[in-house]
Structure 1
Amino acid sequence: MTDAEAMADEFDTMAAWTADAVAELGQSHAIPAACRGSGSPAALEWLAGELRLRPGMRLLDCGAGVGGPAELAAQRFGVAPVLAEPMIHACRASARLFGRPVVVAGGERLPFRSGVFEAVWSLGVLCTVADQAALLAELRRVAGPAALVGLLVFLRTVPRLPEQPEGNHFLTADELDGLLAKSGLAVLKHAELAGFAAPEPDWQAAADRVEARIERVHGSDHRWQSAQHQEKIIGQLISEQLVAGRLLVLEPVG
């Protein structure tokens, strides 16, 4: 299986199935299911607060997936999110679930004017692109003069991983620092993802019901099995602390 096929199984096919499951189970399941892999509500709210999100602010979610984090920000902070996502079925799923503006686009080449957004975030995306410098440069370009940029990154804590998930390119903390310096982004604040509280039981139960429905309908499909294999590898790396999530608040410099 190629990297592209593995990533499509995990982020495109699963997105369409997620929207189908929510349609059956009810809209109350939408945000928990659509935040899968993007951090806990506590982590997302910390990042939103540090980015100084406020009502009416234009927030770009780059690599938005099914749109859960952007919708969480819209409902709890009143922002007006715009989503960019390279996987077409994920775009269709987010539009179906939440109805927010979404464009099919990779973060390495965003179809927006420079400086147009008042805040930008990209959650769990950097490790999934080959040209990470281009992604960071684009986030900086579209951020307005006073805008902050938020990242959730998954970092490699060891020189080599025992198993490398397909389509992922995990940086070390030092490698990330070097990329940020070259991109003209400076770290204002950071926090470790593991330090935030787990989701509330109701939130987790809603997400689990969606996962169970997808497995019940598609569990024999090789695409579901591929996505599960990818998630299992990444979950094991995180549980063994070989990969760790970090939230970053960045400001443009220079």
Structure 2
Amino acid sequence: MAAEFDTLAEWTAQVATDLGSSFKIPAACRGSGSLAVLDWLIDELHLSHGGSLLDCGAGMGGPAAYAVRQRSVRPLLVEPERGACRAARSLFGHPVVRASALALPVGDDSFDAAWSLGVLCTVPDQLALLTELRRVVRPTGRIGLLVFVARSSEPFPHPDGNHFPTEARLLSLVEKAGLGIEDWRGTEEMAGPTPEWQSRVEKVTAELADRHRGQRAWQLAERQSQLIGQLLADSTVTGELLTLRRR
């Protein structure tokens, strides 16, 4: 996990900067779904000009930067890995706080909306994360999640640091956190990346491989990425999009 979100994040930011501004958001969104996923979340969260958005586990800040471009929101990025924080600042200049998703350093009812993309399955105390998101979003606000969900409770090989909930477990967590589901959509229902977007992601990935394939951090991150890709391909896990509100 540290290899992917710390060392590799800074390498990716450097590659995107070298390739040009049009590569920054695609590079920083790798692993966060397609633009169709982000557009769906932006619409379902009712993001609007000047509204505040908390990105919990923001990584390099690509999804938040896309939301700024689409709706002129005011984001705050919270990310535990130092390298990812530095990458987000250098790429986009949005406010970034290094902190845990389980102890968000903001006051109660502070944000119009929040999202957490691909983060829930990386923390062991998933109820604490959902409870924190509920705490910091205003009573009328919404929370968006991208969650990788296990199709079965039977054990299977999984990437280090991942704790995939089953659908039943996820429903239970949402209820215990005092949240209700507004909408739920599988990522397989969403359109894939556009050819232009995919081309830019592939160019960034190829450049990263050329520069760093001999280094352990790159090899570890690639192994993690390939394993998750295989789990999604054979439907051992599925990508699920949820929007939540306080009950």
Q: TM-score range with shorter-chain normalisation?
A: over 0.9
Aligned length: 247
3-state SS, counterpart of residue 139 of structure 1: helix
Measure the CA separation in 2 of the matches of 1:172 and 1:140: 21
Structure 2 residue 26 is matched with structure 1 residue 32: yes
Identity %: 49
Show the 5 A alignment for 1:60-99. 60-99=54-93
Shift of 1:159: 2.2
- Corresponding residue for residue 15 of structure 2: 21
Q: Is the 8 A contact 1:56 1:78 kept in 2?
A: yes
Measure the CA separation in 2 of the matches of 1:203 and 1:73: 16
Shift of 1:248: 0.3
- Corresponding residue for residue 46 of structure 1: 40
Unaligned 5+ residue runs, structure 1? 1-6
- Corresponding residue for residue 221 of structure 1: 215
Shift of 1:160: 2.3
Normalising by structure 2, we get a TM-score of 0.99
**Residue identity in the other structure for 1:41:** L
Q: Is the 8 A contact 1:43 1:193 kept in 2?
A: yes
Measure the CA separation in 1 of the matches of 2:102 and 2:85: 17
- Corresponding residue for residue 147 of structure 1: 141
What RMSD, in angstroms, separates the aligned Cα atoms of the two structures?
A: 0.7
Q: Where do 4+ consecutive residues of structure 1 move more than 4 Å? A: none
Measure the CA separation in 2 of the matches of 1:173 and 1:142: 25
Shift of 1:204: 0.8
- Corresponding residue for residue 167 of structure 2: 173
Normalising by structure 1, we get a TM-score of 0.96
Q: Deviations over 1:50-76 (max 9, x none)?
A: 100000000000000000000000001
**Residue identity in the other structure for 2:179:** L
